[in-house]
Every structure is written in structure tokens, then in C-alpha cells.
């Protein structure tokens, strides 16, 4: 029985997470996106959109057309088990990705600083697959992320 448990645990795939964070909406929270990325990887998740937390992102994305960026991200979303969005910095792309995830029935966790003016499209959204949580510091941010990904 113990052996069977071990096999089941070792066969458990790491959850694939679509990390969503502002790019053209402003990069001022890049350090927080990096912290979320590191927390997810430490917890055994695979972050498919690692580029969102990449300080060199502009260099890579500059070589891609707008259509290529869109197609790549929609393909990554289709392969994700869940989406985690940092919504403190308002971003058209982040809002769009949240909506697309919900349409595809992919669970979404939105995280934000308590001082942020988060859209009512997130805070007032009754979709049971959407969870929105404020974090006051890195400890609470880490706890919210690790609790959420336990479900996958």
C-alpha cells in the first residue's frame, strides 16, 4: 500500500500555471512577478509564461510580431491547469487572459496589493472559478499561492 502511494505521488504531474502580469500596462511590479514565479517553481509547479517575470522580456518579444505573441500566449493558456494573475497594475492583456481562462473553465487566482484599485470586473465577478485575494506582504502572498496550487 505504501509503495502504491509512492507510485501515485511520483506520477503526479507538476501543475502547469499561466502566470499573468502587466507588460505594456507597466513593469513596476516586475520584482513581485519574479517572487511569484520563484514561489511557484519552489512549490513544484511549472510556469508556462516564465517570460512575464523575465527582466529581459522586451528584447525577446521585440523580435516577435503581435500575432506571434498572441498565438503563443493563447496556446500556453490552453495547456494550463490554472491561471494566476497579479492584478495590482491595471493591464488590458491581464484582463483579457483572465476572461479567456474563465471561458475555457480554467481556475483563476487574482492577487493584489490592498491599496490597488482593482476592477469590479474582477472583484465583483461571481464566477466560482475566480478567486481574488489581497496580500499585505510576501509571506501572505506565498501562502495564498501555495494553498491555491495544492488543488492541482
Ligand X SMILES: O=c1[nH]c(=O)n([C@H]2C[C@H](O)[C@@H](COP(=O)(O)O)O2)cc1CO
149: CB partners within 8 A, 6+ apart: 15, 17, 40, 43, 44, 45, 82
CB of 67 to ligand X, least distance (A): 12
Round to whole Å and give the CA distance between 138 and 124: 25
Can you tell me which of 69, 102, 116, 123 binds ligand X, judged by CB under 6 A? Answer: 69
Query: Is 11 annotated for ligand binding?
Result: no
Can you tell me which of 15, 17, 21, 88 binds ligand X, judged by CB under 6 A? Answer: 21
For residue 48, the number of C-alpha atoms closer than 13 Å in the C-beta half-sphere is 19
Can you tell me which of 17, 23, 77, 111 binds ligand X, judged by CB under 6 A? Answer: 23
DSSP per position, 79-94:
T-SEEEEE-SS--HHH
Count of residues that bind ligand X according to CB under 6 A: 16
Can you tell me which of 8, 24, 103, 128 binds ligand X, judged by CB under 6 A? Answer: 24
**Binding site per annotation, positions for substrate:** 18-24, 33, 97, 119-121
Amino acid at each position: 500500500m505504501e509503495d502504491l502511494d509512492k507510485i501515485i505521488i511520483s506520477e503526479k504531474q507538476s501543475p502547469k500555471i499561466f502566470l499573468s502580469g502587466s507588460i505594456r500596462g507597466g513593469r513596476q511590479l516586475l520584482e513581485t512577478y519574479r517572487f511569484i514565479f520563484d514561489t511557484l517553481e519552489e512549490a513544484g509547479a511549472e510556469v508556462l509564461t516564465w517570460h512575464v517575470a523575465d527582466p529581459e522580456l522586451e528584447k525577446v518579444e521585440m523580435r516577435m510580431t503581435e500575432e506571434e505573441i498572441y498565438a503563443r500566449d493563447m496556446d500556453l493558456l490552453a495547456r494550463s491547469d490554472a491561471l494566476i494573475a497579479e492584478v495590482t497594475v491595471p493591464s488590458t492583456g491581464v484582463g483579457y487572459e483572465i476572461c479567456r481562462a474563465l471561458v475555457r473553465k480554467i481556475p483563476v487566482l487574482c492577487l493584489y496589493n490592498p491599496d490597488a484599485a482593482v476592477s469590479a470586473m474582477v472583484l465583483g465577478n461571481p464566477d466560482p472559478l475566480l478567486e481574488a485575494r489581497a496580500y499585505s506582504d510576501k509571506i501572505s502572498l506565498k501562502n495564498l499561492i501555495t494553498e491555491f496550487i495544492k488543488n492541482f
